[in-house]
Structure 1
């Protein structure tokens, strides 16, 4: 094959340019009213798969599928309409590439021109550059066969088709099937790229020069213009602690390379795992320490799939330019409902009474059993959860007191206490809803238990380290505490396979739950949507709304510009230096946004697309720069 500087791009259609096999969709249309619809569609799919993996004669597979389809010419407009909806996401994203290289892009497909030309025409690909089969119709318009003289209706047809084109230059083939690899095997292409965005076949990927999970990856590898600055399949995501499947689905759909691990990891394990990770997703068990972050040179963002972030060294994250997002509201209702239910259970001693019944003991008595109506509920921590608990508790007859170190507006008829001691002395029921900051360690200890009423009900659904567990045990045994509901512990098992060890096991009228206050399907689904969306918004646009540690910036959608994201230590003069670099390179600023906190400055600058690439190097070199990236 004669070589030149010119590059040609040979692209497959079914399951490459589109996400689906077109004849499968045609079958869904043509067999819509057939009583044998399900079995026939499965037959078509099975035959397609056998043909694609090279284990079945292509012409035979084509003949069999057409005979099963029972399709008509009138079905084709509907087929085109449906296929336009399922053009592969990364192809849609890179319409500019197809416009720029229209003369050098060829669709070579074992599919049919009848539906391919209208689809690819929207992406500037010329009809004469579409090489595919053609249907044959009878006089009534029924599809009865195909042009058997067309080389693409036979085995090895793509090879023969490409030979006939006599292209002079470098040839790159992108496809998902074995027939696409055959072009490279015949010596007609420089490289074969196995396209796996929609389907992955082992016998295809193992023969590929490169596996390309998206068209962005192909463009990136070949230094061609692309719609995004970095292929998303190169962004590695590590999700720990059985993060909800919806989060996995959302992140994979975005195109990221996602690895899932069911348990938490200790520091040594995470240090090893974190090296090539760009996005880390955790819940409450995994500790993200400074040492972990020192080994995380590619880390962009951490998602805490929970409310608290005390398990993350937020200051070290700032110093490394790592944005942290959590779900401050997503499981609020779930925690509140659990608190209400535990208050009722403990006041009625229902857990212990149920346990006795299971042992065959009938203990019918009102002793130690109370209504909740009229009791005083003391809420320590009047944030999102504490405030919502206040509203629900009041609606079922509890009198609400609350204490918070910050000024909080009372909801309903709740009464603010001026001190923790005041709340402890007044309350019949005490529920903790504080955050995990270090200052909150053991805020309830022996001294605080002594300040409580005798026979108080005590709940901790917040953080494990905020209660002195040994002091709690002593006060349960001496009946100061009449009942306790504990959902969080100073030390918790890393996974469900590890034993739970606690001094509280076996104590009377004590509800112990495995950190499940927010573990309802509704809450976990909400979190699994909220946190990934915030991370993806940050990566795609630079917006930091709801970030726990970064200055919060809500940015407009990037349009017809490139966005420069500069994270730096909050030192005087950095913005001036950034703008001086841009001025030195005669770059026009389309828009600029700045926000700071006590540690970092966050500058977003939108500039015209045309600029000297040396400007990137200069901006990275500004003193006190922490992280810099370009979005387009």
Structure 2
């Protein structure tokens, strides 16, 4: 495409994620006991030069002297660089192909490894300006062409001057020599590219900071692979979510902010105003009041199983898709339940506390094996069912009760009512959600249905057990032991005191809501939830969303994907179709799914369309949210 704009890109740490000479050093020094020391010297020299504190010629000579490289090392280097092209460059391959006549690579690196990489993106070899290695007869790299302009300090500026480009020149790079092109008057603007590395001294000199190529293309209103730069998508993660989630979201290109504790309604309502993606665990409540301020929010991740802390209906009305991790910590909760059943049956907790106080409480009184005991499971979902299998393998007789018809696993016995179960078992464990109908299902009446000497576990929701009634039944001996991991009121952070009537009671294990807090579970959650959110942002897929109709959608090539969320009322789809027909838009794919509240439609259309189409689709009555995905 002919254009009066020219685009000059650096290669190292811009077109690719890395400095190629650093990688060549790693390859050439493989097996050398001084490898780490030499590599650090090379990297230090590179950084000093890029920050403008060392002449380029001097830095080049010092690095080449340390390399000890051979021509045969270039092949694995090229293979490595091919896999490490910057993510946003890979995503915008079409830009390079479309504007190939106006794109130049001007680098202080070397043609031997640059040309094989950039030509795969449609960049013409005559548009690549870089240094060239000198080899001896045995193929060793012994130097460089000192007559090449790019081997000197002002080489990039001199190359641009010699090209005599008639039009606006934009330079995109990460180093001091890239800035000098603008400083010398040969470029209109210098964009500091920070996707791979940030050099503070360079940021201060830039006309614009561009965290991705998407941002550069967005600022210049040029064709992009996505509708909105990912670096402008603000993510807020609360409650010490596992760092793998932060890493994954940052690698996707999002702007991520971390807050270690929960937030109350007022604080979150203020902080959420510019947030596009919110990540929480169980303590932060996302209410209708919070959502009133969440005008940019498109997705919410619950990095846990439950979603009762989220107003799902208000999220629907706001067009916010909610994702959780329904299975990621199942095993962790089950193992905790098994451990606590054994501990309570044997009285290990009180014996251990006694030992810490210097008391030797050796006795078999009230100490039993779990084998042959009856376990009652209230809530036979993924956790309850897996617990059923493991408990049976320990020799327990398993009974379960669930409001929904569930297939018994192994030899488990289904009970027709909770009262029936409570009258049969020696141990009862709760694995239900926090819906309003489950509030205080274990109350004074439920305790009266239980056998004397019962053991109770609650690893589900703090609201499902009447704490006052539990305390009374522990004190009168009806309950011989309890393990409670969740509470009606919990501290917002580790700095707050935990207050409970259960503190100090005998044979009672209290834990700070850690049923799913294992490294394995948190890693699983930190992998699962971000993947679902990114899939939704990138493709519109809502698989595993807890409040949106579930649609599994593929990535699409050579088309635009439009997402329309609306109230589930008659006629909306017809209006969408009419608008597309009026603008002579060809639909290449359409997906629709509804639930009782909202309709969710994805429309794939030909590349060519008028902006008036977008405005018309946004203006349809009962539209909740409209988004161009790509």
TM-score tier after normalising by the smaller chain length = over 0.9
Partner of 2:423, secondary structure, is helix
Distance in 1, Cα, partners of 2:251 & 2:174: 19
Q: Does 1:119 align with 2:117?
A: yes
Partner of 1:260, secondary structure, is strand
Distance in 2, Cα, partners of 1:569 & 1:238: 28
Distance in 2, Cα, partners of 1:615 & 1:368: 75
**Counterpart mapping for 1:122-133 below 5 A:** 122-133=120-131
**What's 1:630 paired with?**
628
Between 1:72-81 and 1:532-541, the stretch displaced more is: 72-81
Between 1:420-429 and 1:346-355, the stretch displaced more is: 420-429
TM-score by length of 1: 0.98
Distance in 2, Cα, partners of 1:138 & 1:420: 85
Alpha-carbon distance, 1:463 to partner: 0.2
Distance in 1, Cα, partners of 2:546 & 2:164: 59
Assess if the C-alpha contact under 8 Å between 1:5 and 1:170 holds in 2: no
Between 1:397-406 and 1:554-563, the stretch displaced more is: 554-563
**What's 1:43 paired with?**
41
**What's 1:231 paired with?**
229
Alpha-carbon distance, 1:78 to partner: 2.5
Between 1:516-525 and 1:148-157, the stretch displaced more is: 148-157
Between 1:35-44 and 1:63-72, the stretch displaced more is: 35-44
**Counterpart mapping for 1:402-481 below 5 A:** 402-481=400-479
Alpha-carbon distance, 1:139 to partner: 2.9
Distance in 2, Cα, partners of 1:355 & 1:108: 70
Q: Does 1:561 align with 2:564?
A: no
Q: Does 1:382 align with 2:380?
A: yes
Q: Closer, same or farther in 2 for the Cα pair 1:375/1:92, shift >3 Å? A: same
TM-score by length of 2: 0.98
1:178 to 176, 179, 194: 176
Provide structure 1 residue ranges, at least 5 long, that are not aligned to the other structure.
Answer: none
Partner of 2:137, secondary structure, is coil
**What's 1:364 paired with?**
362
Assess if the C-alpha contact under 8 Å between 2:430 and 2:460 holds in 1: yes
**What's 2:244 paired with?**
246
Assess if the C-alpha contact under 8 Å between 1:138 and 1:144 holds in 2: yes
Partner of 2:142, secondary structure, is strand
Q: Does 1:212 align with 2:210?
A: yes
Alpha-carbon distance, 1:405 to partner: 1.4
**What's 2:601 paired with?**
603
Alpha-carbon distance, 1:86 to partner: 1.0
Alpha-carbon distance, 1:5 to partner: 7.0
Distance in 2, Cα, partners of 1:556 & 1:112: 39
Assess if the C-alpha contact under 8 Å between 2:588 and 2:605 holds in 1: yes
Partner of 1:426, secondary structure, is coil
Between 1:419-428 and 1:143-152, the stretch displaced more is: 143-152
Cα deviation, 1:308-344, whole Å, max 9, x if unaligned, reads 0000000100100111000111111110110011000
1:352 to 342, 350, 353: 350
**What's 2:71 paired with?**
73
Alpha-carbon distance, 1:157 to partner: 2.1
**What's 2:589 paired with?**
591
**What's 2:56 paired with?**
58
2:327 to 326, 329, 348: 329
Assess if the C-alpha contact under 8 Å between 2:131 and 2:148 holds in 1: yes
Cα deviation, 1:352-398, whole Å, max 9, x if unaligned, reads 00111121111111111111111111111111111111111111111
Cα deviation, 1:528-562, whole Å, max 9, x if unaligned, reads 11111111111111111111011111123322211
**What's 2:501 paired with?**
503
**What's 1:109 paired with?**
107
Distance in 1, Cα, partners of 2:258 & 2:67: 40
Q: Does 1:307 align with 2:271?
A: no
1:287 to 285, 288, 310: 285
**What's 2:512 paired with?**
514
Provide structure 2 residue ranges, at least 5 long, that are not aligned to the other structure.
Answer: none
Assess if the C-alpha contact under 8 Å between 1:76 and 1:115 holds in 2: yes
Distance in 2, Cα, partners of 1:409 & 1:73: 66
Alpha-carbon distance, 1:599 to partner: 0.4
Between 1:211-220 and 1:158-167, the stretch displaced more is: 158-167
Distance in 1, Cα, partners of 2:78 & 2:403: 63
Please provide the CA RMSD for this pair. Answer: 1.2
Alpha-carbon distance, 1:169 to partner: 0.8
Cα deviation, 1:257-301, whole Å, max 9, x if unaligned, reads 111111111111101110111110000000000000010000001
Assess if the C-alpha contact under 8 Å between 2:3 and 2:102 holds in 1: no
Assess if the C-alpha contact under 8 Å between 1:53 and 1:203 holds in 2: yes
Question: Structure 1 residue runs of 4+, over 6 Å off?
Answer: none
Distance in 1, Cα, partners of 2:377 & 2:32: 63
Partner of 1:578, secondary structure, is helix
